[in-house]
Amino acid sequence: MSFCPVPVEQQPVNEYQELTKSWFFQWVTLPKSKFISKLIGVWSLSLLLTAPISSASFPPQEQIVAFLLASALGSNLFVAFVIVRLYLGWQYIGDRLKKTKIVYEESSWYDGQVWEKPLEIYNRDKLIFNYQVEPVLKRLKKSSFLLIGIMVSGIFSFILL
């Protein structure tokens, strides 16, 4: 292996390993049922915030369906924020793994440097991207499309009220 001037914590493979150990970012690597349960947990907890706000506009005693739809749609926004954050984190690591050149900082003085990966490191990083990161990104894309579908049907239901 050739010399790598990139600080250890800024090397894409190490950034990937840190991401997989992260409490939040590892959610998407869990089995499908556990990942869905995490998103349902976010949705449920956000109901604690969205339900009182919805009740101000749609009193539950008078407009129960509108109240429930507004609360659910509001909670879906929180789930959307979580999915977007997960996607952005994994996409950042994926981009660094796919690139042939790495931008890094040697010190805290914002003295950006560029290092070109040797072929063996580039191939290793590309394999990690193809077999570890890309499936995660695909799962997040599918999740976001599903959530968009749910939100659009909720909005149409709300309009039809």
Which strand (E) or helix (H) includes residue 92?
Answer: helix 64-98
Give the count of domains, the chain. 1
Q: Is residue 87 part of a domain?
A: yes
Q: List the chain pLDDT tens, one digit each, 161 residues.
A: 567 888 899 999 999 999 999 999 999 999 999 999 999 999 999 999 999 999 999 999 999 999 999 999 999 999 999 999 999 999 999 999 999 999 888 776 667 889 999 999 999 999 999 999 999 999 999 999 999 999 999 999 989 98
Domain contains 3: no
pTM of the model: 0.92
Q: Long-range CB contacts (< 8 A, 24+ apart) of 114-121?
A: 115/4, 115/5, 115/6, 118/1, 118/2, 120/1, 121/1, 121/2, 121/4
- For the chain, give me the number of helices (H) and strands (E)? 5, 2
- Eight-class DSSP state of 59: -
- Establish if 2 belongs to a structural domain: no
In the block, residue with structure tokens 């990942």: 35
Dihedral pair phi/psi, residue 28, rounded to 5°: -70, -15
Q: Where in the sequence is the domain holding 61, given as residue range(s)?
A: 8-160
In a domain, 67, yes or no: yes
